[in-house]
Each structure stands twice: as structure tokens, then as C-alpha cells.
């Protein structure tokens, strides 16, 4: 995951998934509206990737679904997200 830790340089984020067969070019990428601070795969469902962003949002991506680069869940102000960076 990519993003800035500096408040004054905030921009969009990027998640890149690589394979062992080709470590120089990502197999799949996901763009986020804010910088990516942390990410982790679900221990029982390895295709689910949880991502925490600098703006406080949390997203879940299904990396097995090659047809969509959109999250299957994304927190928002309506869902009660906070506004501090998600560090872990």
C-alpha cells in the first residue's frame, strides 16, 4: 500500500498486488481516495483485504474478483467512520 504520512502532502493512495512469478510488475492495483496507512489479509478468507486510510476510512477489497477494483465495503461519515488516520 502507498500513501503519505505527511499531513501537508496528502493525495490518493494505491494498493499493488504482486505475484512471485513477476515481482517487478503488479498483477492487480486498487486506487483509494486517501493514502493507505495499513493493510492486512483476513486470516480465514485470504481473498479479503482490509485497508486503513489516512482520512480515517476503512475499506475491504475482494482481491479474487478480477472484474472489479472497487471495495466491497467502505466506511463513510454515514457509517460512523472517524477522521483520524487508521494505523493498524
Low-confidence stretches of the chain (pLDDT < 50) are none
Residues recorded for the chain: 88
pLDDT at 5: 66
pLDDT at 21: 93
Bridge partners of 39, per DSSP, are 51
Query: Nearest CA to 55 among 1, 20, 12?
Result: 12
pLDDT at 4: 66
pLDDT at 44: 97
Alpha carbon distance 21, 33 (integer Å)? 29
pLDDT at 68: 84
Query: Nearest CA to 46 among 57, 61, 24, 58?
Result: 61
Q: How many CB atoms lie within 10 A of CB 13?
A: 23
Mind listing the pLDDT tens digit for each residue in 28-50?
A: 999 998 889 999 999 999 999 99
Residue 74 corresponds to which cell in the numbers above?
A: 467502505
pLDDT at 75: 87
Amino acid at each position: 500500500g502507498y500513501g503519505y504520512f505527511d499531513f501537508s502532502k496528502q493525495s490518493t493512495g494505491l494498493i499493488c498486488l504482486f505475484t512471485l512469478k513477476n515481482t517487478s510488475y503488479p498483477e492487480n492495483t486498487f486506487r483509494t481516495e486517501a493514502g493507505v496507512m495499513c493493510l492486512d489479509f483476513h486470516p480465514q478468507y485470504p481473498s479479503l483485504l482490509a485497508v486503513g486510510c489516512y482520512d480515517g476510512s476503512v475499506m475491504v477489497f475482494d482481491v479474487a474478483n478480477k472484474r472489479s477494483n472497487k471495495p466491497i465495503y467502505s466506511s463513510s461519515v454515514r457509517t460512523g467512520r472517524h477522521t483520524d488516520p487508521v494505523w493498524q
